[in-house]
Amino acid sequence: MKVKYIVYALIILGLGTLIFYRIGENKEEKKDPNAIKPATTVYGKILVSQEFADNLTLSGTLEANEEIELRTEVSGVVEQINFEEGGFVTKGQSLVKVNDIELRAQLRQVQTAQGLSSENARRAKLLLEKEAISQEEFDIATADFKSAQAQVQLIQAQLSKTTIRAPFSGKIGLRSISKGSYISPTTLIAKLVNTSQLKITFSIPEKYAQTMKANQSLTFTTSGSKEVYNAKIYAIEPSIETESRTLKIRAITENKDGKLIPGTFANVSLPLAKLENALLVPTEALIPIQNGKKIFVSVDGKAKEIIVETGARTDKDILITSGLKAGDTILTSGVMSLKNDSPVKVKLQK
């Protein structure tokens, strides 16, 4: 029994000692709530203003300078195909000939009628001068002649449409007809594309709209290639697209060697104004927050959070447009656990 009481006594004594120790600790904390916490070691960098060529990186699409679907305006049987698939054709070149036997027969018929009506109109004029016929009879003869003339012109126009010519020089695609095929205006013959020059269409945010001008140069690359191509802006949409809040722009580039293919995506680099005193910070120093972005700077051994606004970015850095100044010591790494006014020990990086 005595051993049992001794054990109970020891347990009670231990609990009492623990409680007394915790109470003492709490009192000490209450006595010194501003006790100095150990400084956190972080890396930092002193901001230095520098020259920066601000470029806007965008995605665009390459388009053919001219592109059409070749179709006939008259129905008929294909008599001749005068092009090779995938070959080059010149402006005005005859590509397809539709059988025109019926139209030529109709032309001879209306030409005969025109000759007769012309002679009737000539005789009517002589008779009118001799007052042998009335003015009404003369007018009818003249109208018949003009109607016959119109019929001849109509058939001639239809005959000219039986020969399909290239409206511009370019590369012709795969044909979907054969000699002897019956074609109509709904029949696709082939596609004709002018690729000696290509258009690049892209959109920029509306805040840059005022800086865009015709003849402004830019560079671009395509997927799968590191070659850099040059282009020049030649057309700007006169209004902002309300849904995307962007401005559509079109540039043109030379493609005489045929390396560029219409429909390819282009990575456009559009140069903006050159900044003489730009402030660039490493991207890892930037911390996204609900209302924007912040950066920690070191002030008198403490971390101070600064709300900043940013501009263009490079592979490693981002342009700060407001919030910082040259000479500020920004904290670049080990900042995610920091709070405002946290003590810090800064190791400067070059």
Give yes or no for a contact between 170 and 89, defined as CB atoms under 8 angstroms apart.
Answer: yes
Token digits of residue 130: 């001799």
Token digits of residue 342: 């946290």
Name the residue among 197, 307, 319 with its Cα closest to residue 254: 197
- Amino acid in position 113: A
d(CA 28, CA 294): 36
Token digits of residue 144: 């018949």
Name the residue among 199, 159, 197, 167 with its Cα closest to residue 70: 167
**Topology (CATH level 3) of domain 40-53+276-348:** 2.40.420
Token digits of residue 113: 């009628």
Name the superfamily (CATH) of residues 57-65+191-272: Efflux pump adaptor protein, beta barrel domain (2.40.30.170)
Q: Provide the CA 154 distance to its chain's centre, in angstroms.
A: 45
Tens place of pLDDT for every residue, the chain, 350 residues?
A: 555 566 566 566 666 665 655 565 555 544 455 556 677 888 888 888 888 877 788 899 999 999 999 999 999 999 999 999 999 999 999 999 999 999 999 999 999 999 999 999 999 889 888 888 889 988 999 999 999 999 999 999 999 999 999 999 999 999 999 999 999 999 999 999 998 999 999 999 888 888 888 899 999 999 878 899 999 999 999 999 988 899 999 999 999 888 898 989 999 988 887 778 888 888 888 888 888 888 988 888 888 888 988 877 777 888 888 888 888 888 888 777 788 888 888 888 76
Contacts of 300 (CB under 8 A, 6+ apart): none
Q: Can you give the residue ranges of every domain in the chain?
A: 1-35, 40-53+276-348, 57-65+191-272, 75-183
Name the superfamily (CATH) of residues 75-183: Helix hairpin bin (1.10.287.470)
d(CA 59, CA 68): 25
* 3-state secondary structure (DSSP) of residue 119: helix
Burial of residue 170, with CB atoms counted within 10 A of its CB: 0-12 exposed, 13-18 middle, 19 or more buried: buried
Give yes or no for a contact between 81 and 189, defined as CB atoms under 8 angstroms apart.
Answer: no
Name the residue among 202, 206, 169 with its Cα closest to residue 87: 169
pTM for the model stands at 0.60
Rg (CA), the chain: 42
Strand pairing category for 50-70 and 170-172: unpaired
